[in-house]
């Protein structure tokens, strides 16, 4: 198997999102918080790995990190990564907005069909 081939994993789940609280807003906040917790956990592991590897090689990164200024290409890459991160964290709100838009469109269509059939 080609190791450079990527496996596509769908980003959306089918069916209704489970609810745990009486207020759906609390469920959305919980989903957002869990996404953030996952991201922070992964980042902590990666930072720990980088620090451990650097320390083994006698490199003390803290001072260099504090004064580092990324070049324009890296700054652009960071911005893209930041936007992707925000999309993942805010996904639940985007999904809900799309559901509302679909329902509004369906309702408008149903109303238009009903009105035109009555005329």
Over its length of 119 residues, how does the chain's per-residue pLDDT go in tens digits? Answer: 555 677 776 666 666 767 777 888 888 888 888 988 998 999 999 998 998 899 899 988 877 888 899 999 999 999 999 999 888 878 878 888 888 887 766 666 666 666 666 65
- 39 shares a domain with 60: yes
pTM comes to 0.46
The span from the CA of 62 to the CA of 95, in Å, is: 39
- 110 shares a domain with 92: yes
Residues spanned by the domain of 39: 29-68
The span from the CA of 119 to the CA of 115, in Å, is: 7
Q: Among 99, 101, 84, which residue's Cα sits nearest to residue 35?
A: 84
Looking at the structure of the chain, the number of domains it has is 2
- 86 shares a domain with 101: yes
37 belongs to a structural domain: yes
What secondary structure letter does DSSP report for 18? P
The span from the CA of 87 to the CA of 97, in Å, is: 13
Answer whether 31's CB lies under 8 Å from 17's CB. Answer: yes
pLDDT of residue 106: 62
The span from the CA of 77 to the CA of 96, in Å, is: 28
């Amino acid at each position: 198997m080609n190791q450079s081939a990527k496996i596509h994993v769908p980003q959306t789940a089918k069916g209704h999102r489970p609810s745990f609280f009486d207020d759906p807003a609390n469920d959305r906040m919980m989903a957002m918080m869990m996404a953030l917790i996952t991201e922070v956990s992964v980042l902590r592991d990666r930072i720990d790995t980088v620090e451990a590897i650097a320390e083994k090689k006698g490199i003390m990164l803290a001072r260099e990190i504090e004064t580092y200024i990324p070049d324009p290409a890296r700054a652009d890459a960071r911005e893209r990564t930041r936007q992707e991160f925000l999309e993942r964290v805010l996904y639940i709100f985007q999904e809900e907005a799309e559901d509302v838009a679909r329902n509004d469109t369906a309702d408008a269509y149903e109303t238009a069909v009903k009105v035109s059939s009555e005329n």
